[in-house]
Amino acid sequence: MTKADATQLIRKLASEQGFLSIGISKAEFMEPEAKRLESWLNQDYHGKMSYMANHFDKRVDPTKLVPGAKSVISLTYNYYNPIKQEDPEAPKISMYAYGDDYHKVIKDKLFDMVAVIREKVGDVQGRCFVDSAPVLERDWARRSGLGWIGKHTLLLSKQKGSYFFLAELIIDLELDFDHPVSDHCGTCTKCIDACPTDAISSSGYILDASKCISYLTIELKDEIPAEFHDQMEGWMYGCDICQDVCPWNRFSTRHEEPSFEPTDELMHMKKREWQEITEDVFDRMFAKSPVTRTKFRGLKRNIRFLER
């Protein structure tokens, strides 16, 4: 099979698996990204996410993750859902966590793609990644032309917005490569202005994760610093503010993934019910959910913090 044929096959497989978009870039050392990551870490913007400083060499060189790697295939998977929680006073959960854990849902699709690639092309070696390994996902997606990294530091697409998950296949098969697109944030500062904790730098493109509501409610295992007590805007798990205000998300369309549909129970729960949630109810409601990352005690901590 020629390089062009293999590339066409992989694009077709991605579409069949329901991916929103696909881009391909050359697997190589990421020199400018390595410098930016080093600077970001040196300023302690990663907070207590110590794992961000681990495996630095693998983060910036895909051949350290997959020996002989030639191509990085970046994919996006839509999770946009315009439905909001029924009770406007209820603690809020980020849209991406409405349904089943995206890691498993998307990784199963990647495994299916790899199986067909090997069947059609031959002995192709590689690995699948969904936000669970030292991979600079946004940078690879940018390199492959799926969008630009916006002022809120998320990947943005003129056609698709930003409500999507990122995933990668890093393989030892050379394919036709795509090219980056230009930045279209322009003079807009809506995400910067809307962030209640000032986590985004005044000029954009740099995030102090230690101030981000998603970090405070999910990644931080200690008590949330008191300085944020009036800045959480009701979020108990994650935060969608910088995406909600982004003009490019007017082009977002509702996802078609049944696994990402929220239960009626989740969407109808009242504020008091969240305040009184028990561990048994938590375990039942979030058995397959990414919310398990914060565990019951973490979610209770977040809900109590909102009541201060």
- Catalytic residues, which ones? 131
Is 237 within 8 Å of 190 (Cβ atoms)?
no
Distance CA 268, CA 282 (A): 15
Distance CA 218, CA 221 (A): 8
- DSSP designation for 157: B
HEC letters along 227-292:
HHCCCCCCEEECCCHHHHCCHHHHHCCCCCCHHHCCCHHHHHCCHHHHHCCCHHHHHHHCCCCHHH
Distance CA 22, CA 152 (A): 22
Distance CA 286, CA 37 (A): 33
Please name the residue ranges forming H helices in 48-157: 56-59, 62-65, 102-121, 137-143
Is 87 within 8 Å of 48 (Cβ atoms)?
no
Strand partners, 156: 148
Distance CA 55, CA 171 (A): 19
Q: What is the DSSP string of 198-215?
A: --B-TTSS-B-GGG-HHI
Please compute, for residue 274, the number of CA atoms within 13 A of its CA located in the half-sphere on the CB side: 27
3-state secondary structure of 128: strand
The CA-atom distances, in angstroms, between 83 and each of 60, 179, 235, 254 are 37, 35, 16, 10
